[in-house]
Amino acid sequence: MARELFDTYDDDMHWTGTATRQAVHRLGLWHQTFHCWILHRTAAGDFLVVQRRHRTKDTHPNLLDISAAGHLAAGETRADGVRELEEELGLAVAYADLKPLGIYRYVDESGGVKDHEFCHLHVLIRADGHLADYRPALGEVSGLYEVRLEDMQNLCRGRGEPIQAAGFEVDDNGHQTRRELQVGRGDMVAFGTAYYEMLFQGIGE
């Protein structure tokens, strides 16, 4: 298996070289990631799509997370990250369809991994989107849910939990089971308040 190589950076996002995924997470080297939240804009309101990370993920297994996200390999630009939507959800879109929201500096040193990321944050707004539109990658994604945008805003701003999520779990054979969840902050990958404010502001503009 070919080793994954990432571009590495200093604190000011100046390129410093390349390193393997393992070295990047062992040494806490800054690297780039692509984040894309999908917003379903429907007659019933606005809903964010969240995925459940697979139980075998090396970071944050089983937690609810961004609609689609991933690392940028060495030499890739943020526009190349659009492939994550197709790889994880079976959704082929052009980068021009996404709305870039900015770069968020994310640091997480839990679970024995030193993760220092420059996250390129995006939103994809889809009119009348449905979870049935997506094909979750088996072994990567364990479920897909919709959360009302207003509820997510209240949750991330500490105004009340849990909130409701509706969607499905998917097993490694592709069998889907409909589920409704009560979601608290502890059920989600932890990003700072500033991260979510960047997302909410970008959606509202």
The CATH number of residue 170's host domain is 3.90.79.10
Which of 136, 143, 140 is closest to 183 using CA atoms? 143
Integer Cα distance of 167 and 176 in angstroms? 10
In the chain, DSSP assigns E strands to 5-9, 15-20, 30-42, 45-53, 64-65, 68-71, 99-108, 115-127, 141-148, 163-170, 176-183
Tell me if 99 sits within 8 A of 205, measured CB to CB. Answer: no
Domain count, the chain: 1
pLDDT on residue 2: 60
Integer Cα distance of 39 and 42 in angstroms? 9
Integer Cα distance of 102 and 195 in angstroms? 10
Question: Whole domain around residue 40: which residue ranges?
Answer: 5-204
Q: How far is CA 103 from CA 119, 143, 146, 171, in A?
A: 5, 27, 25, 33
Pairing state between β 30-42 and 45-53: antiparallel
pLDDT on residue 112: 83
pLDDT on residue 205: 76
Q: Which residues of the chain have pLDDT under 50?
A: 1
Neighbours of 161 (CB within 10 A): 15
pLDDT on residue 1: 43
**Reported pTM:** 0.94
